[in-house]
Amino acid sequence: MARIWLGFIVLFAVGCSNPVENVLQSNSKSITTVMDSLPQYEVQILFTQIDSTENGINFTDHSFQSNKNDYFYPASTVKLPVALLAAEYVSHNPELHLDTPYSIQGDSVSHTIADDILKIFAVSDNEAYNRLYELLGRDIINDRLREKGLINTRISHRLSTPNAADHNRKELQFYPSYESPTFIPESLPDSDIVPLKLKALSKGKGFIKNRSLIDSPMDFSLKNYFSLQDQHDLMKQFFFPRKFDKSKHFKIDSLENIRIKKAMATLPKNAGYDSSIYYDSYGKFFIYGDSKERIPEYIKIYNKVGYAYGTLTETAYIVDERENVQFILSATILVNRNGIFNDDIYEYEEIGIPFLAQLGREFYEYALANKMNDL
């Protein structure tokens, strides 16, 4: 990745009181294309500058159009809290660990929670998420998230499966060892899904259902909800727990915690996937999303992306280990020019991913500039 001229870096750092406003004034076509027609893209951005001080870590927060009441479809970003809660579940059960084999009703293949978590972060595997959803159930998921202060989130369904919102859950059987008896988690039916009460829950001018066009807005009131602020806060709480009350911590064994963080930054090739199909930026939109080049080893992106129904979202804790800079960035954008949902005609490659990639680069350069300005 090209480094910008030092003189510009210093001017950028000195002249920018609000980095989000500065970034959105960029002359990059990827940014201006969106800013020139901003209302149609439903952009929300959150940026946290992270500084190390004598008294510990300091957060400086900035935002753009972030509003917990403005609904956007979170897609696969919901896999992030479910993965962490599954790890927490295992940590609190003395009979289990992340590598305990298990089977799920209707599937003859054995799995582990560790493998599921790795698949979720490396390639955003839907089946892995659905298995963890079956383990926990939406009632437990939502109760635990509320306990952690993530109150603007509601997980209500599985992903990409006909029984997505089914109340009943499949049974899981864990096999702790040859000597230990099979462990079967309780699998009670979940409660009814209560419709959301937010803005813009009816979207677009039409949608596809059963291969037919329905000439009315699509209703998202029973869908998953994961506000950008909660995504951003979850990243803070997980990576910097000492900044928060213990009630907001994810209570995961220390060694397992390290493994999960490693999984969050794992590139597909390092998880055994074909790099010609699952290139480094397959699930990393910020900075590298519009390129298939390799991501340098000194850049660590602990993140989760989501894209569906024309909405692209990413939340990420980004660290440059060589330059010793770090920040948290979360953003969402809707790219659905024709206003028809579920038709698979979206401007992901033309507008959405280039916007998020450039956004990541601009904030990365800001982080570098701010560091250099402090020296």
For 264-307, write each residue's pLDDT tens digit: 999 999 999 999 999 999 999 999 999 999 999 999 999 999 99
**Rounded distance, CA 126 to CA 191, Å?**
23
**Rounded distance, CA 224 to CA 201, Å?**
11
Around Cβ 293, how many Cβ atoms within 10 Å? 10
pLDDT greater than 50 at residue 54: yes
Show me where the domains of the chain are located.
6-374
pLDDT greater than 70 at residue 12: no
Q: How far is CA 190 from the centre of its chain?
A: 24
Is the CB of residue 243 less than 8 Å from the CB of residue 57? yes
What CATH number matches the domain at 6-374, 3.40.710.10, 3.40.50.300, 3.50.50.60, 3.30.1330.10?
3.40.710.10
Q: CB burial class (10 A; 0-12, 13-18, 19+) of residue 75?
A: buried
Per-residue confidence (pLDDT) for residue 242, from 0 to 100: 95
**Rounded distance, CA 52 to CA 72, Å?**
33
- What CA dihedral angle connects 87, 91, 255 and 175, to 10 degrees? -80
Is the CB of residue 260 less than 8 Å from the CB of residue 84? yes
Residue 156, φ and ψ in degrees, nearest 5: -120, -10
Mean pLDDT of 112-131: 98
Around Cβ 236, how many Cβ atoms within 10 Å? 19
For the stretch 245-273, pLDDT in tens is 999 999 999 999 999 999 999 999 999 99
Whether the pTM exceeds 0.85: the reply is yes
Per-residue confidence (pLDDT) for residue 11, from 0 to 100: 40
Per-residue confidence (pLDDT) for residue 375, from 0 to 100: 39
pLDDT greater than 80 at residue 179: no
**Rounded distance, CA 134 to CA 324, Å?**
40
Q: Is 59 helix (H, G, I), strand (E, B) or coil?
A: strand
Average pLDDT, the chain: 93
For the stretch 194-251, pLDDT in tens is 999 999 999 999 999 999 999 999 999 999 999 999 999 999 999 999 999 999 999 9
